[in-house]
Each structure stands twice: as C-alpha cells, then as structure tokens.
Amino acid sequence: MVRSTMKSVVHRPQQQRSIATYGRMLDAAEALLQKKSFDAVSVKEIAHAAGVTTGAFYTRFPDKEALLGALEDRLTTMMLNYIGEATRPERWAGVNLEEGMRRYCLGLVEIYMKTRGAGRALVLRSHTDAGLKRRLRRLNVEGLPRVLSVVVAQPGVTHERPELAVEIALLAIRSMLRETVLFSEAWPGEAALAPDVLAAELARLSVGYLGIRGRRVVRR
C-alpha cells in the first residue's frame, strides 16, 4: 500500500518569535530521529523536546506527517544551497581535483551527519511513497549536473567517458554516505570513520576511478 505523500498544509510562521519556535520543533524532531524511527517518535515527545505544548505543535503542523514534510523541505534546501556554494568556480581555483573533491565530500559528510535522523526517515519512507521518491530525485536532477560540470572541467580526468564517470562517482559518494552515515552499516562492529578521514577516502576513491593516478602537490 502506498503511503501518503505527506504534503499536508503547514502554517509557516511570519513573526521572529514564531519562526524560532518553528525551528526548535524541527530541531527537536531531528534530534529524536537520530535515536528512534519516525514511527516510534510521538508528537508529545517532539513538543516536549522543543519546549512547547502539543497544542502549539498542532498550531503549526496538522499532523506528524506534515512535520516530516517540513524536514524534507529544509534538508533539500540545505543540500541545494551547499551544492550551489560548493560549485562556485573560485572554490576550485588553485587546488588539484583530489583536494577539491575532498573539500566537497567533507561538506557533504557534515550535512549528512547533521541531518542523519531526518535523512534516514526520508530514505526509508521513499521506498513506499512514490511522491516523496520523485521529490528526492530533485537533489540528483538539480544538484548532480552542477557538480558534474565543475569536476569534468578540472585537468587530469582521463576516463574515456568523463561525464558518465563523474556521474557514477558522485552517485557512489552519495550511496556510501547513506550506508556509512545514515544507516551505519558499512563497517559492522567497528567505530565510524572520522568525517575528515571519510571525506579524504571518498575523494581518493573518486579521482582514482576518474583516471587520476597519485597524489599531487596542491599549489595555492
């Protein structure tokens, strides 16, 4: 059975105080989702963690599904804003491709860690919610081409089909982050890699696949 696309009407605040309260409710839900599944988290828990009443919660959100939709909007906006900033040409000037990819991957790791709870809940829900699945594709449809255009333009890519190779590399990075950060399944029984280590290894994996051999000196 296909579940609701969770786009219920959300009453977005206009005044500064209300905006802050709205943000606290989203932050509280995110923190709870770091430890529990979406189905296991109650409205009462979210309201309590945010320091508001359940009545205040329902003033903004008609139900818990609407709150998940708001988390989806916030995560999508955060990711697209990051990609827009990370693909500015000046961010790649003066560094080799491996260093540029390391910086890009580190930003992604930090976002995935910050939004781990909501991200995990959304990925799981997208398996049964066709509308959500289509919306999450927006990150690929709008985000990947921007990164692809920047990486393909860098010197040193020797793969015979560079655009396809970059696209696969970027999707591999996203898949690895889902496994290692959202679901913590990559290395069972062992501690997760530190963000900088994970970003560096993802960068090395990417540039190796793209045909670049060896670490080159970064010139600034």
Q: For 156-205, write each residue's pLDDT tens digit.
A: 888 999 999 999 999 999 999 999 999 987 665 667 789 999 999 999 99
Other Cβ atoms less than 10 A from the Cβ of 31: the count is 14
Tell me, what's the pLDDT at 192?
77
Tell me, what's the pLDDT at 219?
36
Q: Rounded to the nearest 5 degrees, what angle is found at the Cα of 219, between the Cα atoms of 214 and 220?
A: 145
The length of the chain, given as a count of residues? 220
The CATH 1.10.10.60 domain(s) of the chain lie at 9-62
Residue 197 to residue 193: CA distance in whole angstroms: 6
CATH of the domain spanning 68-209: 1.10.357
Tell me, what's the pLDDT at 143?
87
Residue 92 to residue 95: CA distance in whole angstroms: 6
Tell me, what's the pLDDT at 220?
36
Tell me, what's the pLDDT at 186?
61
Tell me, what's the pLDDT at 15?
58
Fold topology of 9-62: Arc Repressor Mutant, subunit A (1.10.10)
Residue 17 to residue 52: CA distance in whole angstroms: 13
Low-confidence ranges of the chain (pLDDT < 70): 1-17, 186-190, 213-220
Residue 76 to residue 70: CA distance in whole angstroms: 10
Asked whether the whole model's pTM tops 0.75, one would answer yes
The CATH 1.10.357 domain(s) of the chain lie at 68-209
Tell me, what's the pLDDT at 141?
85
